Amino acid sequence: MPEGPVPSSAGVSGRMQRQRRKDTEPELALRRALHRAGLRYRVGLPVTGLPRRSVDIAFTRIKLAVFVDGCFWHGCPQHATWPKANAAWWEAKILKNRERDGDTTRKLEDKGWTVIRIWEHESAEDAAARLLDLARGMRAAATTSPRVATVGSSTPLIG
């Protein structure tokens, strides 16, 4: 991708520089809703083998990765806006973001993770309810499948 475009104005440049990369309002709202529902998770879990990529919300025991994607930066089909200034550069940038998202999803799925992407415009409460149902289902499936557990110091059990 070519070097960044010349900003159309100082105001636009300042606004873009102030955009958060993590701990955005939609992420924080979802995390609060998940916490209220009793779910515990990790934040910013690095994706092994992919530098500078991390999972927004990770449920490590059940291998559930949640990303909260911004409508502008990830090209939401409902709410994406395409800037008129430097249009070609922005289109390439957003399409590259989407390509990277797909690559991250594939790599995580190859490692046995379930990946959920939530758009920033979605209600945090609705998204949390969906994730709660999914997490419960994944936990139930994990407890009904055979697994090895250790009791005491060295007694393996098949359960």
For the stretch 139-158, pLDDT in tens is: 999 887 654 443 433 333 33
Residue spans of the domains in the chain: they are: 10-158
Tokens of 49: 């083998």
pLDDT score recorded for residue 21: 61
Q: What is the mean pLDDT of residues 100-123?
A: 97
Rounded Cα distance between 22 and 42, Å, is 13
Structure confidence by residue, pLDDT tens digits, 65-101? 999 999 988 999 998 778 888 889 889 999 999 999 9
Residue owning tokens 């499936």: 141
pLDDT for res 8? 53
More confident residue, 132 or 15: 132
114 neighbors 65 (Cβ within 8 angstroms): yes
Q: Which residues contact 139 (CB under 8 A, 6 or more apart)?
A: 61, 62
Range with the poorest average pLDDT among 11-15, 64-68, 111-115, 132-136:
11-15
pLDDT band at 37 (very low <50, low <70, confident <90, very high): very high
Is the CATH number 3.40.960.10 carried by domain 10-158? Answer: yes
DSSP letter assigned to residue 48: T
Q: Is the pLDDT score of 20 beyond 80?
A: no
In whole angstroms, give the CA distance from residue 69 to residue 73. Answer: 8
The pLDDT of residue 84: 86
- pTM for the complete prediction? 0.79
Q: State yes or no: pLDDT of 31 exceeds 80.
A: yes
- What's residue 120's pLDDT? 95
